[in-house]
Amino acid sequence: MHVQARAAVVTGAASGIGLALSARFARAGAGVVMADVAGDALHRRAAELAAQGADVTAVTADLTDPDAVERLADTAFGLLGDIDVVCNNAGVLGPVGQPLWEVPLERMRQVFEVNHWAHVLVARAFVPRLLERGRPAHLVHTASMSAFVVGAGSAAYAASKHADLAVARSLRADLRGTGVRVSVLCPGRVDTPMVQGLTAPRGAGGDTSVSAENVADLVWEALGSDRFYLFSNPDAPLRLRDQFDDVWRHVSLPPPSPEEELWPAPKATTEARKHRPSTWRR
């Protein structure tokens, strides 16, 4: 099966990977609905692409609002007719550099609203309509290498990307045997406004950086194929190997022996020893 990308929907399209995906599809002659909550920036970028001859439409939408997502689907299908590609790409970085117990809960919820729940809402709005039409189509979820590799101070972002990876894997299983393919995009560091000036927390970043255009080309080449995991950065194999070596090391560890003291008894303090009854035994 090959998806002829004549019509595409891209969320998070005002900048970064979403903008690059929109430009890549438009350059190939596809009509593109670009969606983002940042309306002013979105319309500026869409106007720039249109001035170059692109067939693009900007739709300002808060993708954390179920009603807004349904309206986006109505608009996209109304404008484009049959849709070939949906790039579920909207995302935010959120707080980094703080341990989990210091991250404000409201900030963490906000990250999940965009990186996880908005992706769920978009899938729920678009997939049934794609299935109804019975044509080949491709759903691309933007997750991250942080769906696999987790460093210090990145709990909110990494947890949301783990959740999105699980959603993409579930969708892949749900849609097996249909004409709708699913891929999960897992970029490492990408030169986008979201990460400019950011020092990645310890263990969270990779050693390579790629352009958003490189990522868009990777997605374009994968459309219609069975490629599920899309890794954009050349250091991905090494980073993944380190993670899975760690998992395998724990899988292969022998069980503790019955004689092993799993939780060592705490040593009594000097003050406690003074008052310890003589009947105490360890």
Q: Strands, E, within 187-280: which ranges?
A: 189-191, 209-211, 229-231
Residue 209: both structure tokens together: 């950086």
Residue in 148, 52, 178, 158 with CA at minimum distance from that of residue 115: 158
* Strand-pair partners of 7: 31
| Residue partners of 123: CB distance under 8 A and separation at least 6 | 88, 139, 141, 167, 171
Residue 117: both structure tokens together: 């729940």
| Structure-token match 């978009």, residue found | 122
pLDDT at position 162 is 97
Element (H, E) at 156: helix 155-174
Provide the whole-model pTM: 0.86
pLDDT at position 130 is 97
pLDDT at position 279 is 42
Q: How many C-beta neighbours within 10 Å does residue 270 have?
A: 6
Residue 62: both structure tokens together: 């808060």
pLDDT at position 1 is 42
Q: How far apart are CA 163 and CA 165, in angstroms?
A: 5
> pLDDT tens string for the chain (282 positions)?
456 789 999 999 999 999 999 999 999 999 999 999 999 999 999 999 999 999 999 999 999 999 999 999 999 999 999 999 999 999 999 998 999 999 999 999 999 999 999 999 999 999 999 999 999 999 999 999 999 999 899 999 999 999 999 999 999 999 999 999 999 999 999 987 655 445 555 455 567 889 999 999 999 999 999 999 999 999 999 999 999 999 988 887 777 777 666 666 666 555 544 544 444 443
CA distance readout (Å), 197 to 26, 99, 133, 191, 236:
30, 20, 44, 10, 22
Q: How far apart are CA 203 and CA 263, in angstroms?
A: 28
pLDDT at position 282 is 38
Model confidence over 160-174: pLDDT tens digits? Answer: 999 999 999 999 999
Given the residues 157, 181, 223, 233, select the one marked as catalytic: 157
| Residue partners of 78: CB distance under 8 A and separation at least 6 | none
pLDDT at position 257 is 74
pLDDT at position 260 is 64
Active-site annotation holds for 157: yes
Q: How far apart are CA 191 and CA 207, in angstroms?
A: 13
Handedness of CA 17, 167, 101, 106 (dihedral sign): positive
pLDDT at position 274 is 52
Contact 110, 70 (CB under 8 A): no
- Tell me the residue type at 67: D
